[in-house]
A and B are shown apart, each in its own frame.
Chain A
């Protein structure tokens, strides 16, 4: 449980060569076995940061180190076994069944010309069970509701059996029941030793879940550390540029804003 699973060193990034920097000189350690929550206003660079971690975007300057080794030194399938991304939403053109869709999480474990076997199906099905979608395994993905689709995406990421799970606003489409389930799931994965990074617009979720919080403001780290130190009225007010009060209620942090 020591050290960083992913280390970002002086990252700078812009979407076009002459465009303004989205992230500037950003250095960050994502703790191994921790739950890191990334908070920031819309457009602060949260999703961009996840894509950089994943290697999908390449930094203009700086390095991303996975297990202290530059990301570029890993093969594609190796990173696919190490890291999984759950995007905010995903467009699905064709009518895959939920199980077929989740099975795609086994891609990094299979050589390009091979076919998934029954072990892969078992893993895919268990992932569905874990997010509570097992009963929908044979339904077409396109018939799922927004929240169910998000759970299917999470199941696909679990089928990758990653060491690091990147969740981009995982609760954005979920009702309270599924949100509670997701929190329980993330905690269970955390107990299994999976490192987790999630972006969120909900400071309460971060406070309830994260071992480590990073506040991202206009491409820079405003502050980072345990929730008790970072999620303060002052910091959040500075981040969202409105008056914010953080109060303790029944042992939880509650954010009041007006």
Chain B
């Protein structure tokens, strides 16, 4: 080795800073693209006609104004928020459980919400806010049950116990969901359940938007503030402990910060599949494993991906396509390309 060690260290740090600067620039590009897609989405749709895009008549057109402000704007906001919440939760789950194949529904949040929604449709009422409240209630019940069950399992590490408990509680909820579907009125209730399970942002109003946003914003703020420290939690429990981390407490806090927005989003919009599983992988592909950059990238990409899918959902066919179908299809497609391309190492 030649040269002064201090000089070499400085040079290495300078290289690292250059890498960080470039990563920050890419993040800014991603953020700007999201803004552009968002603005574009407001003016995309079958109504009104082309002159609306020109903007010259839009001030005068009261109907167009109402359309943008009361229908498209809240819907686009929810699409972005949903994508961000699901993608970031996916990244947190994959990191904390040190497993690139888990997704945010793991702790029976998704199955809980699905059961709650179906239960409401069959047994109570299919009005939107009751379905959503029921879904939220059961999502949190599922989470709570998984947590309590994990505490009472007598073997394995904390992560294994949480996963086992989540799988068991999820299975019970899906059994319950099966019974509800079997009992449901095949002409009236069953289609509603199916539509809810496929996920959709149709009919999102400001009420739903404002009920989702606080949870998403708070969860996101906490995750972003912790974006570097999250890395430590991907290490084994004893390693993280030896690095001065209160492993269990910090994992729990992050899980709550990830799961609460997810539950809020799923309750309002139904099952939007694959965003939470696939987008974190793209984020990691672009920025490496360091969550300091991969997490913000994942958040931005998740928002953009879901918004684009929702644009397609409302424009592709004369009728609305359930969003979950599009996110699953596009997500799976991207995922397949990703895992079959060179340079991806799979361990475990």
Contact = CB atoms under 8 A, between A and B. Distances in A.
Interface string B231-243: 1101111110111
Interface in A89-130: 90-97, 99-100, 104-105, 107-108, 110, 112-116, 118, 121-122, 125-126, 129
Given A95-B289, A96-B290, A116-B228, A142 B241 contact: no
Contact of B238 (A54, A93, A134): A54
B53 interface: no
Given A90-B239, A122-B13, A81 B244 contact: yes
Nearest to A119: B13
Contact of A99 (B16, B244, B345): B16
| Residue in B8, B231, B236, B239 whose Cβ sees the most chain A Cβ within 10 Å | B239
A107 B232 contact: yes
Contacts of B99: 93
A79 B10 CA distance: 29
B226 A79 contact: no
A115 B16 CA distance: 14
B288 interface: yes
Contacts, number: 116
A83 interface: yes
A160 B243 CA distance: 8
Nearest to B225: A113
A59 interface: no
Interface residues of A, number: 47
B290 A121 contact: no
A8 interface: no
Contacts of B228: 110, 114-116
A49 interface: no
B292 interface: yes
B156 interface: no
A108 B9 CA distance: 22
Nearest to A82: B244
Interface in B1-25: 1, 5, 8-10, 12-13, 15-17
A190 B232 CA distance: 28
A121 B16 contact: yes
Contacts of B232: 104, 107
B236 A83 contact: no
Contact of B242 (A56, A118, A138): A56
Interface string A124-162: 011001000010011010100000000000000000100
A62 interface: no
A78 interface: yes
21 contacts: A54-B238, A56-B242, A76-B241, A76-B244, A78-B244, A80-B242, A80-B243, A80-B244, A80-B245, A87-B239, A91-B98, A91-B236, A91-B348, A94-B98, A96-B231, A100-B231, A100-B289, A104-B235, A116-B228, A122-B13, A142-B345
Interface of B: 1, 5, 8-10, 12-13, 15-17, 95, 98-100, 225-229, 231-232, 234-239, 241-246, 250, 284, 288-290, 292, 345, 347-348
* In the A-B complex, the 7 residue pairs with the closest CB atoms: A80-B244, A108-B244, A94-B289, A85-B242, A77-B244, A93-B98, A113-B225
